[in-house]
Amino acid sequence: MKLLKINTIVFLPALIMFLTSCSGSAHNALSDAEKADGWHLLFDGKTLDGWRDYNGTALTGSWEVEEGTIKAHGEGSDTNGYIVTDRQFENFELVWDWKIAKGGNSGLLYHVVERPQFPVPYLSGPEYQLIDDANFPEPLEDWQRCGVDYAMYLPDFSTMKVNPAGEWNTSKIIFDNGHVTYYMNGQKTIEYDAWTDDWFERRNSGKWNNAPEYGLARKGVICLQDHGSAAWFRNIKIKELPRKTEERSLFNANDLQGWEKYGTELWYVKDGLLVCESGPDKQYGYLATREYFDNFELSLDFKQEADGNSGVFIRSFIEENVKVNGWQVEVAPKGYDTGAVYESYGRGWLIQIPDEKESILKPGDWNNLRIRVDGDQVITWLNGEEMVNLRDEKIGKGQGRIALQIHDGGGIKVLWRNLKIKTL
């Protein structure tokens, strides 16, 4: 029998490719099935394209690509060493491989909001903690250990398997319209619902008590942390999930559940109505939703019993010294642009209403104000009449709370009712 001679030079590379594809060991790549299912890579295995410094426009920190991984050199600290994706993500399934140096500390954060007022990403974004529990040089509280939702929710450490420092682990986060699930090496470890009473109780009673915007964002960039030790990441892939809409009331006519007061001015419920009234300090005061609302249509009724200098803030956040940073739909006495849009920092009035529309306001009587915010567009209606229709790039990039205002100066009293919202 004549034996067939095989050209091993040609055959060997093909064999290696075949075995690699069969074993699934190719890194930083998506299968055809994953592509069809909507998965995308956040790291191509070769470059750091798509990543940059937190609150920056370029990548300048101590990160590099090393043998198909994103490597943190270990030169970062609590105040620096963070890189983020160029894109924001809202609802998603996120999977990544990671390993860490002995005694090391790192993390992955999501829904991170970039603002000059937030010098570090953990003031806004939740963190999936990555740390070497066994060799960390300082004692760790349970809420600091590997795999926790940092300072919020803990796994069952007795059943969770984490490979030791220097070995690869695979983690996953599913964020589906507020329902959150964490996985470690294929095992579900944490499951909770964000923005519930339990969530806010945890947020307000521990590490984040003085971080009023922590965890509120419904979208944001994804962040990797260099916390002073080497860490490696690969196979970072994400599948976006659809947004769900809802309709509900923001005021239950009994108490201020779902709202947070800022300042010393008066907010209370009387006869089923929400009342805002100047207090003895005669300063600015705010009543803000404890949740963020990005795209929505809000309808409410207001009645100005005294000086009606007030307003409805949209996509706004709380700063120190009782200051709301964002955009205000004006509620004011006749002749002062009720329904117009004002920026509380920087630019002032973005758009005012024409004089002939001032007569639409009914002083001393109930008025209906409707506000639609969708992307970069804001439309307001007063008593069924369109007041403004504005597109603004800066508003389009914003996100935050809805807040009612008491202006400073004293003598203000406004009643509110029927606060209803429909998310878009």
Contact by Cβ (8 Å): 145, 134? no
The reply to whether 261 and 387 lie within a common domain is: yes
The reply to whether 284 and 396 lie within a common domain is: yes
Q: Sorting pLDDT into bands at 50, 70 and 90, what band is 345?
A: confident
Q: Which domain holds residue 184?
A: 31-240
Rounded Cα distance between 269 and 398, Å, is 30
Q: Which contacts of 142-149 are long-range, i.e. CB under 8 A and separated by 24 or more positions?
A: 143/206, 143/207, 147/171, 147/182, 147/184, 147/189, 147/190, 148/190, 149/180, 149/182, 149/190, 149/192
Instruction: Give the distance from CA 189 to its chain's centroid.
Output: 22
Q: What is the pLDDT of residues 124-136, one digit of tens each?
A: 999 999 999 999 9
The reply to whether 235 and 204 lie within a common domain is: yes
Tell me the CATH number at 227.
Answer: 2.60.120.560
Instruction: Give the distance from CA 10 to its chain's centroid.
Output: 52
Among 181-185, 320-324, 372-376, the minimum mean pLDDT is found in: 320-324
Exposure pattern of 186-220 as b/e (b: 16+ CB <10 Å)?
eeebbebebbeeebbebbeeebbeebbbbbbbbbb
Give domain status of residue 92, yes or no: yes
The reply to whether 233 and 104 lie within a common domain is: yes
Flag whether pLDDT at 232 surpasses 90.
Answer: yes
Averaged confidence pLDDT in the chain? 93
Q: Sorting pLDDT into bands at 50, 70 and 90, what band is 3?
A: very low
Flag whether pLDDT at 112 surpasses 70.
Answer: yes
Domain stop point among 223, 240, 257: 240
Give domain status of residue 12, yes or no: no
Among 71-80, 169-178, 315-324, 372-381, the minimum mean pLDDT is found in: 315-324
**Tokens standing for 137?**
């040089």
Give domain status of residue 223, yes or no: yes
Domain stop point among 240, 269, 288: 240
Give domain status of residue 182, yes or no: yes
The reply to whether 131 and 159 lie within a common domain is: yes
Give domain status of residue 16, yes or no: no
Give domain status of residue 274, yes or no: yes
- Identify which of 284, 368, 359 has the alpha carbon closest to the alpha carbon of residue 318: 284
State the pLDDT at residue 320: 73
Give domain status of residue 314, yes or no: yes
Q: What is the pLDDT of residues 25-52, one digit of tens each?
A: 589 999 999 999 999 999 999 999 999 9
Flag whether pLDDT at 363 surpasses 70.
Answer: yes
State the pLDDT at residue 149: 98
Q: Sorting pLDDT into bands at 50, 70 and 90, what band is 6?
A: very low
Distance linking the first and last C-alpha atoms of the chain: 75
State the pLDDT at residue 132: 97
Domain stop point among 240, 268, 303: 240
Q: Sorting pLDDT into bands at 50, 70 and 90, what band is 262?
A: very high
Q: Sorting pLDDT into bands at 50, 70 and 90, what band is 18?
A: very low
Flag whether pLDDT at 11 surpasses 80.
Answer: no
Q: What is the mean pLDDT of residues 267-292?
A: 96
Q: What is the mean pLDDT of residues 389-401?
A: 96
Q: Sorting pLDDT into bands at 50, 70 and 90, what band is 21?
A: very low
Rounded Cα distance between 284 and 280, Å, is 11
Q: What is the pLDDT of residues 113-166, one digit of tens each?
A: 999 999 999 999 999 999 999 999 999 999 999 999 999 999 999 999 999 999
The reply to whether 350 and 395 lie within a common domain is: yes
The reply to whether 275 and 208 lie within a common domain is: no
State the pLDDT at residue 25: 57
The reply to whether 257 and 391 lie within a common domain is: yes
The reply to whether 258 and 228 lie within a common domain is: no
The reply to whether 226 and 254 lie within a common domain is: no
* 296: Cβ contacts below 8 Å, ≥ 6 apart: 372, 373, 421, 422, 423, 424
The reply to whether 309 and 227 lie within a common domain is: no
Residue type present at position 128: Y
State the pLDDT at residue 23: 38
Percent of the residues in the chain that have a pLDDT greater than 70, as a whole number: 94
Number of domains in the chain: 2
The reply to whether 315 and 176 lie within a common domain is: no
Cα–Cα distance list, 399 to 61, 169, 330, 340, 374 (Å): 27, 34, 19, 19, 11
Give domain status of residue 97, yes or no: yes
Return the bridge partners of 181, or none. 174, 191
- pTM for this entry: 0.90
